[in-house]
Structure 1
């Protein structure tokens, strides 16, 4: 079984898209993710929609290296969401040959969030993109069951659920629920590890997610149990931001270490579907 791996933008957030492509190629990844929009106002993002020179350079690096762009970040389903606001996002995604959009559920009104998700799926489908909700325990869409419910109720063929082991382990989600998640809803999955235990406040949950994840096998998450439920042909996005460890390594060395540990662990896992 030969798995495919993608370097997530958050693992090496300081790298712009051309550098992401080059680093992924140099360290053994087949793909990478690009953060076109920041997670929060003032955060890091690389808006290729407004930078034609960097877009050209990114495409040239892809051609030179053979590395693909897998997922694009990040679209948030808020109470004011309008899919037409992201037309240039979709257009750039199509030019890059990207396949997935990482989506966060920020709207506490589930009916409205579901309608927004359906609208997003319809709008991005002509550009060859899926929309994949990443449930996060500090957001309204906080667990696997709520993400699945939104995707299935929206009823769009390009809708999916993105499984992040950190969020899975720290939310009210179970292996039985993951085993029951239809394969058709799993377009890609992330891998990381983290210390055992669950923080009791959102600030600590967010800090770990953005700054203190661990390479696979260095923490307490049941990664083997989780990835037995993930189809073998699923693209694996290696998302491991860690400010302390990262400060001691170059971007290339960190990216390679994260990939090596992910491979070492997943090589021991035989998916059951």
Structure 2
């Protein structure tokens, strides 16, 4: 059975500490969490983060539950921000033992974006971290798999690789054929979820935050996973933020884990 990580937005109950405990109870060895969060309109964090002041306690919690951090978020390339501002959160990710940090290229100025992405890679390397470049339909500087491949090839940063999220792949015109044509070594990790159709869109944020359990939609997930090398890390990212008062986040996450495991049977 492949090692699967659970993304924090799949199980938000009790924050990052709750995620560690839940993952261990569910038999998972890895998680994906936030050391820096995207911000809401009022400037507050959209998602709970691991605070620097809690570093020692959180490291102990990880060790006690035999859980590791696969990915740390959120480190986008933005037109109005310098990646050096991320240094405290990058350093914290490294101290928590994360394998990589995740970025999206929001900046549509290619020269500036390439410069900032290269700088982010160097900062990450200083802390022993890889950088996962995730393409999405709403990240204008890298909004499909072709652009991601081009950027990785252009920058030639040894710790930079591509993240392939099933939803983003199929919403941005990607296909199994395109995925199969890519050098497998360029892909660092993949995210598992399902969707109801194969429409192409650059406006699907609502769907991205309310995904389908693997097997409940139409994405060819078994074939998708079969195209990835055994070294590719796998992340269960199946958020559901519109479940209502009766929504049980732990049961939802357990269903997502069971469905993801079944893809390998």
Q: Could you say whether these structures have the same fold, taking a TM-score greater than 0.5 normalized by the shorter chain as the test?
A: yes
Q: Does 1:225 align with 2:226?
A: no
Describe the shift of the 1:153–1:201 C-alpha distance in structure 2 as closer, same or farther (beyond 3 A).
Answer: closer
CA apart distance, 1:40: 3.2
Task: Looking at secondary structure, tell me which structure has more helix per residue.
Answer: 1
Q: Does 1:142 align with 2:150?
A: no
Specify the SS of the correspondent of 1:207. Answer: helix
Describe the shift of the 1:16–1:56 C-alpha distance in structure 2 as closer, same or farther (beyond 3 A).
Answer: farther
Describe the shift of the 1:242–1:199 C-alpha distance in structure 2 as closer, same or farther (beyond 3 A).
Answer: farther
Q: Is the 8 A contact 1:4 1:234 kept in 2?
A: no
Return the alpha-carbon distance in structure 2 between the equivalents of residues 180 and 107 of structure 1.
27
Q: Is the 8 A contact 2:77 2:83 kept in 1?
A: no
Q: Which residue of 1 aligns with 2:161?
A: 160
Q: Which residue of 2 aligns with 1:17?
A: 16
Describe the shift of the 1:200–1:237 C-alpha distance in structure 2 as closer, same or farther (beyond 3 A).
Answer: closer
Q: What is the TM-score normalised by the length of structure 1? A: 0.89
Specify the SS of the correspondent of 2:104. Answer: strand
Return the alpha-carbon distance in structure 1 between the equivalents of residues 222 and 215 of structure 2.
9
Return the alpha-carbon distance in structure 2 between the equivalents of residues 47 and 99 of structure 1.
17
Q: Which residue of 2 aligns with 1:271?
A: none
Any gaps of 5 or more consecutive residues in structure 1?
Answer: 268-273
Q: Which residue of 1 aligns with 2:253?
A: 255
Return the alpha-carbon distance in structure 1 between the equivalents of residues 245 and 148 of structure 2.
34
Q: Does 1:112 align with 2:103?
A: no
Return the alpha-carbon distance in structure 2 between the equivalents of residues 247 and 216 of structure 1.
23
Q: Which residue of 2 aligns with 1:8?
A: 7
Describe the shift of the 1:246–1:11 C-alpha distance in structure 2 as closer, same or farther (beyond 3 A).
Answer: farther
Return the alpha-carbon distance in structure 1 between the equivalents of residues 202 and 103 of structure 2.
23
Deviates more, 1:29-38 or 1:247-256: 247-256
Specify the SS of the correspondent of 2:71. Answer: strand
Q: Is the 8 A contact 2:100 2:131 kept in 1?
A: yes
CA apart distance, 1:199: 6.7
CA apart distance, 1:246: 7.8
Matches within 5 A, 1:1-273: 2-41=1-40, 42-48=44-50, 50-52=51-53, 54-140=54-140, 141-198=142-199, 202=203, 205-210=204-209, 212-245=210-243, 248-267=246-265
CA apart distance, 1:178: 1.2
Return the alpha-carbon distance in structure 2 between the equivalents of residues 173 and 201 of structure 1.
13
CA apart distance, 1:110: 2.0
Return the alpha-carbon distance in structure 1 between the equivalents of residues 237 and 148 of structure 2.
20
Q: How many residues were matched structurally?
A: 261
Q: What is the TM-score normalised by the length of structure 2? A: 0.91
Q: Is the 8 A contact 1:18 1:57 kept in 2?
A: no
Report Cα offsets for 1:165-197 as digits up to 9, x if no partner: 001011122323211322322222110001114
CA apart distance, 1:247: 5.4
